[in-house]
Structure 1
Amino acid sequence: MVVNHKKTMTIHFVSHRNPAARKTSAKCIFLVCEKLGPTKILSGTRDITERVLQVAATFASDGPPEIRWYGKKIYHMLMPYDELDSMMKHYLNPTVYTNMCEILDNIRAKGGVGETPSESARNNGRRALSNDKLTSNGNLTNQFSSTRKINTVDQAEQVRELTKQMRSSDFRERLNGIEEFQKLCELETDTAIQSLVQIFDGFNDCLADMNSKVVLKALNTMHQVIPILRDALSSVINSALPLVAQNIASKNREISQLASDIIDTAIDYIDCGVLIQPLCTLSQNSNLRIRPEIVLKLANVVPRVCQRKPKQVEIHLLPTYWKLLSLLRGQNSTAIASSASGSNSLNSSIHVLTTALYIELGSLLIEKASSSSLVTPQNLQLLRELCTNINTE
């Protein structure tokens, strides 16, 4: 990491009203703590120790389970060290200290914090599906019709049929086609992977369907198959991701939340070097209602690509950031940071992205901006001020 430890301990978005911003902040701080290690956290400067313990305690008591998981995971990392309890007493107020002791007791009783809630839910769903597919004597039931039994059908015809179903004028047929696609991924993964481009010609239509039942079924299936297909989805993600993203703007809360979760799942399971281009494109061109959240997703990718994919950062990420930087609204960096901490605005999301980039690149971010024709002198000065504010947080 390029920046010093104090720079990484930003807590600007810990109390952000937007859960997505808090989740991004929690994940970013957890990754930083992993890099620092328990010894540097507990034996380093007082500022680092105090901030980590207080911020992680705040996350551990947050509402969304994913955010709580990151807070607990940070404390779990520190639990083997004898000095943890005395430092908790010193840096946490009595109420928070008592609450954290209960949380740590619960972690000890369970033997750890387990998987992230989203990962656990996906695994439980896959186990449930597996159990439903097996009868007591181990035979598969309720699967493909007799003309589609595993290893006995023409695979090309099988794919053509389910794609035809997904394009049917009857929404019930479209629902059946989506379900058959999920079964194909689970039972004949190789066949699904070999035919993804053809299948997604129909499946993408379902992601943008006028019928909310079809959209919801398609999104649920997408959420389920990403952990199965993983990087194989690279061939279709450029076309599918914008369709998923536009559903974040849906007035149906279930559809909106599921679409957001799918992008998070894609970030977890698909090479972020593949995701960075469509996310950058969406960050610049998507519907204004969803753009703040898309920029937060892009910020979530930053720790995964800055060191591993420097060319992608140069080609896609930084040019996108320069354009977003020019969209910042505010009298000065202080006003921008102040507005960012309290609303689900584009200002807020761009500030999260700025923090994520500066944590990874440090002063190199300013050097890159100085040499870019896309960054005006005014925006360069604004960036310098924002980075100075990050240093002092």
Structure 2
Amino acid sequence: MDQELDATAKALLHKAGESSAFIRLDVDAALDSMVQNCTPTRSMSALLTGGLGHLNAGVRKCTSQHLAVLVEKIGAARLLSGTKDLTDRILPAVCKLAQDSSQETRYHGRKMLLLLSSHRDFDKMLIKYIPDKDLATIRDTVLTLKTKGLGEMHHDTPSARGRHSLSGGGLEHVSSLTRDSQHAHSKDKAQIHSIADKTEYIKQLKALMGSKDFRERIKGISQLVTDCEDNPYLVIGNMFPVFDAFKSRLLESNSKVNLYALEALQKIIKLLNDHLSQVVFILVPAIVDNHLNSKNDAIYMAAIGATEALISNLDSTLLLQPFCTKAQFLSGKAKVVLVDKLAKELYPRKPQLVEQKVLPLLWHLLGTSGNSGTIHGRSGSVRGATNNLCQALHLHMGPALLDCASSQPSNIHQSLNDILKNFSTS
């Protein structure tokens, strides 16, 4: 089938611009089957060739929708490897879709951009493959995505076909397009769902999690945990909308829901592990911004548990940037906890990455009054955490740490010298 993909995808995408909702749903189902069953890179090439530059907004939306699935499937590491006809095609395409005039196309483009931006080589590849005139805009977009999240996508009004009501608080994952195949494979955890089915799933999950009744919101969280256990591929295929909805439950004012969400998140992290790398920049702020400074002991301990679950189950290189950023701008117990975690548990395999991400935080800590020891909490003081970070970096870098500090203001260099002298004499 791979040999016919270009022609097949082009014909299908052309039909995605039809006004008939029935035709569009059938096109979605066919393209979804192509994405799931054909060679991913060939499918990606076919979608880019057939739909990227199409004048019809519906075709571009359909292209971006299926392309987003492929980007998640192939992964940022391979897509940003610099391979000819791969990186040089997908990165400019994603940047173009992220700036599309269609809101839905733009959503999927930014979803892909956020995923790719989590890779350590993203900026290097951006400079290599994106024209200088577009770099500033793309970087601004990435910064906004990392700080504010992807947000919600406003869907077109769904057709009556495949629509199901929400009843009994449960989620019904079956659309008219996939009912027969789902029945045949109901025990298969790696079951593939059509685009229409995924849209309905997100719609119903958001309805539960956005309910005015806090008990229904808790029920929605429970349902998500169940889905992660029984049907993880459905969740993995919808990471951004799922965790945008979940984030709201972490941040809401009802402490019962907060606590339930934080405890559920620990289970979710263990179930999905590295798949959560796509949404680290959504989860870390939602966990640490309020809950690590909470006066509610149960919420504080649940937030600590969620933080430790991230460290235990995700690649530590993915956590360095969000942890360092939050440790720099937060205060109180949250600052102490994050600095301690960086000092004790977050050393990745690549020394250069540690120096690039952690040293700016260390200079900040040494150069501000926050390390005077005035902030105390369950985890000690900022000064103590800063000392631990200095010691860990010195063990990691040796004399190079002082060499790096020599370019900093004299008070920072002196503070570091004093701390290291105390270590050597103790």
Q: Which category describes the TM-score, using the shorter chain as reference length?
A: 0.5 to 0.7
So what's the TM-score if we normalise by structure 2?
A: 0.52
Mapped contact 2:243–2:279 kept (Cα < 8 A): yes
* 1:384 aligned partner: 417
Aligned with 1:205 (options 239, 245, 248): 248
Give yes or no for the alignment of 1:323 onto 2:359: no
Q: Secondary structure at the match of 1:169?
A: coil
Per-residue Cα deviation, 1:170-227 (whole angstroms, up to 9, x for no partner): 2111111111111111111111111111101110000011111111111011111111
Q: Secondary structure at the match of 1:147?
A: coil
Share of identical aligned residues, percent? 31
Please tell me the residue identity of whatever aligns with 2:382: L
Aligned with 1:162 (options 193, 202, 205): 205
Give yes or no for the alignment of 1:285 onto 2:329: yes
Give yes or no for the alignment of 1:345 onto 2:388: no
Greater displacement, 219-228 / 165-174: 165-174
Greater displacement, 219-228 / 146-155: 146-155
Distance (Å, rounded) in 1 between the aligned partners of 2:361 and 2:371: 20
Q: What is the 5 A alignment of 1:1-393?
A: 145=170, 147-148=172-173, 151-152=182-183, 154-245=197-288, 246-302=290-346, 304-305=347-348, 308-327=349-368, 344-371=380-407, 375-393=408-426
RMSD between aligned residues: 2.9
So what's the TM-score if we normalise by structure 1?
A: 0.56
Structure 1, unmatched stretches of 5+, are 1-142
Q: Secondary structure at the match of 2:332?
A: coil
- Indicate how the Cα distance of structure 1 residues 185 and 327 shifts in structure 2: closer, same or farther if over 3 A, else same: same
* 1:72 aligned partner: none
- Give the CA deviation at 1:247: 0.6
Greater displacement, 173-182 / 377-386: 377-386
Mapped contact 1:231–1:271 kept (Cα < 8 A): yes
- Indicate how the Cα distance of structure 1 residues 364 and 328 shifts in structure 2: closer, same or farther if over 3 A, else same: farther
Count of residue pairs the alignment pairs up = 240
The higher-RCO structure (CA 8 Å, 6+ apart) is: 1
- Give the CA deviation at 1:367: 1.1
Q: Secondary structure at the match of 1:233?
A: helix
Distance (Å, rounded) in 2 between the aligned partners of 1:387 and 1:215: 41
Please tell me the residue identity of whatever aligns with 2:265: M
Please tell me the residue identity of whatever aligns with 1:295: V
- Give the CA deviation at 1:164: 2.2
Q: Secondary structure at the match of 2:172?
A: helix
Structure 2, unmatched stretches of 5+, are 1-167, 184-192
Mapped contact 1:328–1:350 kept (Cα < 8 A): no
- Give the CA deviation at 1:144: 9.1
